[in-house]
Structure 1
Amino acid sequence: MWFGKTKSEEREEETRVAIQKEVARNERAREIPIDSIVFNPYQPRKTIDPDSLEELAASIKEVGVLQPIIVRKVGEERYELIAGERRWRAARLAGLSTIPAVIVDVTDKEALSFALIENLQRSDLNPIEEAYGYKRLMQEFDLTQEEIAQMVGKKQSTIANKLRLLRLPSIVQEKVMDGTITERHARALLKLTSESDIIKALKQIEQRKLNVSQTEELVDKMLGLISREMKKKDQAPPKNLRELYIFVSKTLSKFEKQGLKFKVVLDENGEEIRISLLRGEEDENWQGNSAG
């Protein structure tokens, strides 16, 4: 039985065919000035490990840039980077003034798709960058999680778990990006619903250098404490008769929608509360007396 291609597969194939055609048409890379290259605004990568960059720069000093970067022309002698940011940065670090590049002619959407998919498939991004990459694909191309999973060769649950990380406060996302905490630490924090509680837990993780299982225990304890505090608030009795009077008045006022009105009186000594149901004239008299 033959099944047609999904929309995501068709989009991916169209993008790759467009890029491949352009690369084939420009089989020989040209040397272009490094300073003439500008960033792709859709580049998902936010951070690059400085140590690995220095290693690549040292290699480039010895043997040069072995694999050309891919760019597209965006103005007179101006090029936008589509693929190869690490090579471009390392080449600059190595002191090169030019870099081999294949110049392609692609649309904005093709450039976006290629930049995202290339990085995602190479697993070259940290979890937060990866999550934002998936989010961009969903927003820019109206793709589902399942379609993205097919495009990058991962399970739909993996895509969903990455996207959930974006619910965390920005400070937690930053800690994941710089490697202070792992993705599993972050996923444990997702159980907490309050931003202040999440940040409290994050501080504990950093100060006590908690591993993932210890973090999960901490979160479970915090959830238990929060639950107990909420129950206490729900069950806490009024501290005195005046608080009870206010509580009773508010509670009985809810019955007014059903046509029932109550008279709640706290005596002058604050020692007794009297409650009576008002009917007809009693109601009018009570309202008049209250107004007076």
Structure 2
Amino acid sequence: MSKRNLSEKIKLQSYNDMFGEDENTEIVVQEQIKDVALSELYTFKNHPFKVSDDAKMEEMVESVKQYGILVPAIARERVEGGYELISGHRRHHAATLAGLETMPVMIKDCSDDEATVIMVDANIQREDISISEKAKAYRMKYDAMKHQGMAGGVTLDEMSETAGESSKTIQRLICLSNLSDEYLELIDSKKLGIAQGIDLSHIPEEHREVVLKVMKDMGLIINMEQSARIKNASKEGLFSEQWLREILNYKKPVVRKVVFNQSRLDSYFEPNMTNEDIEGIIVKLLDEWKAKGGRG
């Protein structure tokens, strides 16, 4: 297979490209649209996007009951029989809940990598996608495009152009995909920051497991300063569970600072007195106060 950019090969970079009105859009892969029994449609392998029974799904079910499935799903034939859904998992679920037996499907003849690119591009710009879903989806598309022989930087640039996000953001999200689902759930719920997640993505999995265990034991979530220290300690061979517990137990001393406004100082000290003179008098008075046991 040619090592050309998948986006150039498929000419199908977004959901709008699939169902837009541009007559010049070229689709290289073979396709046909037909009604397929819902029971013959199977979930895409490692599909990263969640299908939830939420308010939006309820609205979709009501729409399906009234109008049917207006936009065909996308699928490809399975060697085992039936079809693998590439795009349209939410429509398939809504059709099931609405009591339909079949739904319109665009059948495509495409490779694993081509199917992955289409699947991600068809979903990635939805507004309700979580950080973990984006991270997993971008990782799948990145790996699929890399299989075609594209250099990492070029792949990120192409993904950035398609998704409308900076290549740096996409790269950071891909890093997050190294984390376990438990970590990603913490990030999705905003308990753990993305920056901390990025730091943890660069340490070995066994160290991440220790961090998760200690956070649970101590009932806390690491901050940015702590995650940076953990990353450096892991890199330098200093990381251990004992070391981690010590730095998480460390409490910074409270920095105390007392500031007098100008009018209050003027009520006690002559205008020609220097700051050093004023400080000396205050310290002397405090020493006398301390000598009396801190009593007035």
**Normalised TM-score (structure 2):** 0.57
Structure 2 residue matching 1:174: 3-state secondary structure: helix
Matched, 1:115 2:130: no
Q: Write the distance in 2 (CA, Å) between the matches of 1:101 and 1:189.
A: 38
Partner of 1:165: 176
How big is each residue's C-alpha offset from its partner over 1:108-148, in whole Å with a ceiling of 9 and x where there is no partner? 32212211222224456321222122222332321423343
- Identity %, equivalent residues: 25
d(CA) in 2 for partners of 1:201, 1:227: 10
Report the Cα offset of residue 86 of structure 1. 0.6
Counterpart for residue 30 of structure 1: 34
- Please list the CA deviations of residues 72-118 of structure 1 after superposition, one character each: whole Å capped at 9, or x if unmatched: 23359722212111101111111110111222222332212211222
Could you tell me whether the CA contact under 8 Å between 1:149 and 1:155 is conserved in 2? Answer: yes
Matched, 1:50 2:53: yes
After the TM superposition, which residues 91-102 of structure 1 pair with which residues of structure 2 at under 5 Å, given as runs? 91-102=95-106
Alpha-carbon offset, residue 169 of structure 1: 4.2
In structure 1, runs of 5+ residues without a counterpart are 1-6, 231-292
CA distance in 1, matches of 2:182, 2:12: 40
1:88 is aligned to 2:95: no
CA offset digits 1:133-184 (Å, max 9, x no partner): 22223323214233432332321110122123234444212344xx4336x6
Structure number with the higher helix fraction is 1
**2:31–2:106 Cα contact (<8 Å) kept:** no
Match of 1:11 among 6, 17, 20: 6
How many residues are paired up?
210
For the 8 Å contact 2:48–2:137, the answer to whether it is kept is yes
Report if aligned partners of 2:30, 2:108 keep a CA contact under 8 Å in 1.
no
CA 153–76 in structure 1, closer or farther in 2 if over 3 Å, else same: same
State how far apart, in whole Å, the 1-side matches of 2:11 and 2:74 are.
Answer: 13
When Rg is computed on C-alpha atoms for both structures, the one with the higher figure is 1
Cα distance in 1 for partners of 2:91, 2:11 equals 21
RMSD: 3.9
**Shift of residue 226 of structure 1?**
6.1
2:165 counterpart SS class: coil
Alignment of 1:146-225 (within 5 A): 146-176=157-187, 179-181=188-190, 185-191=193-199, 195=208, 196-201=210-215, 216=223, 219=226
Q: Is the 8 A contact 2:30 2:109 kept in 1?
A: no
Report the AA paired with residue 112 of structure 2: D
User: TM-score, normalized by length of structure 1?
Assistant: 0.57
Partner secondary structure for residue 177 of structure 2: helix
5+ residue gaps, structure 2, are 19-25, 231-241, 248-296
Shift of 1:199: 4.8
Output one character per residue of 1:24-73: Cα deviation in whole Å (capped at 9) or x when no partner. 964xx42221111122225332x223213233112211221121111223
Using the alignment, how far apart are the partners of 1:133 and 1:35 within structure 2?
25
SS in 2 for 1:66: coil
Task: Compute the displacement of 1:13 (Å).
Answer: 2.3
